[in-house]
């Protein structure tokens, strides 16, 4: 009987722990959370725009603070065109991309924020290469839509200078 009581208490404790979790920063599978599904879908759209050299698509998915502080959408598109021309001249071409999983959502002034890793597959003069980047992802509408900042071009101080409301809890990737 004592073993049954202990087993019952253990099951009760585990069940309570599972149902007490909330979806932000918890241990449930984030891949099943609607906000995460939208995030991964839109991160895939961003990565596809990079692979396809769709500069307008990249800017539409770029965080609005980066666009406005960076000189506007037209200026950003011209900068992207120049960057891609340089890569092409060096024999580099994006082939495909894989979006990874994010660790958790952070909340900051009504926004959800996270870091998403993306692995790009590149062709460099007929050699296959991989390049990992991190995207800082922000949603101001509870995870329905997301915008991104490519952290290749920003250290933590410049990210905080360019983007409003970056969570103080953000663990900036090294």
Residue 25 is predicted with a pLDDT of 41
Structural domain count, the chain: 1
- CA dist., res. 133 & res. 111, Å (int): 22
Helix, coil or strand: residue 130 = strand
Over 60: is that where the pLDDT of 18 sits? Answer: no
36: domain CATH number? 3.10.450.100
Scan for tokens 């103080």, then name that residue. 168
pTM, rounded to two decimals = 0.80
170 inside domain: no
Work out whether the CA dihedral 17, 22, 25, 27 comes out positive or negative: positive
Residue 35 lies in a domain: yes
Residue 10 in domain? no
Is pLDDT above 90 for 11? no
Residue 11 counted as domain residue: no
Residue 42 lies in a domain: yes
Count Cβ atoms within 10 A of the Cβ of residue 60 and give its class: 0-12 exposed, 13-18 middle, 19 or more buried: middle
- Per-residue pLDDT of 101-143, as tens digits, reads 887 899 999 999 999 999 999 999 999 999 999 999 999 999 9
Taking residues 69-73, report their average pLDDT. Answer: 91
Which pLDDT belongs to residue 32? 66
- Distance separating the N- and C-terminal Cα atoms of the chain: 54
Instruction: Please check whether residue 8 lies inside any domain of the structure.
Output: no
Q: Name the residue range of residue 113's domain.
A: 22-162
d(CA 155, CA 143): 25
Reply yes or no on whether the pLDDT at 4 is more than 60. Answer: no
Cβ atoms of residues 107 and 24 within 8 Å: yes
Residue 71: inside a domain: yes
d(CA 87, CA 95): 13
């Amino acid at each position: 009987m004592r073993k049954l009581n202990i087993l019952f208490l253990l099951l009760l404790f585990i069940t309570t722990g599972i149902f007490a979790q909330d979806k932000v920063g918890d241990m449930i599978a984030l891949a099943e959370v609607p906000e995460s599904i939208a995030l991964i879908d839109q991160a895939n759209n961003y990565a596809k725009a990079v692979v396809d050299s769709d500069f307008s698509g990249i800017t539409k998915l770029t965080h609005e603070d980066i666009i406005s502080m960076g000189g506007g959408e037209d200026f950003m598109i011209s900068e992207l065109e120049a960057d891609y021309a340089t890569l092409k001249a060096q024999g580099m071409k994006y082939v495909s991309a894989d979006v990874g999983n994010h660790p958790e959502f952070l909340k900051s002034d009504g926004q959800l924020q996270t870091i998403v890793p993306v692995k790009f597959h590149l062709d460099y003069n007929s050699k296959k290469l991989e390049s990992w980047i991190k995207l800082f992802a922000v949603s101001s509408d509870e995870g329905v839509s997301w915008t991104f900042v490519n952290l290749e071009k920003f250290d933590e101080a410049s990210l905080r200078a360019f983007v409003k409301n970056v969570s103080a809890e953000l663990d900036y990737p090294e």
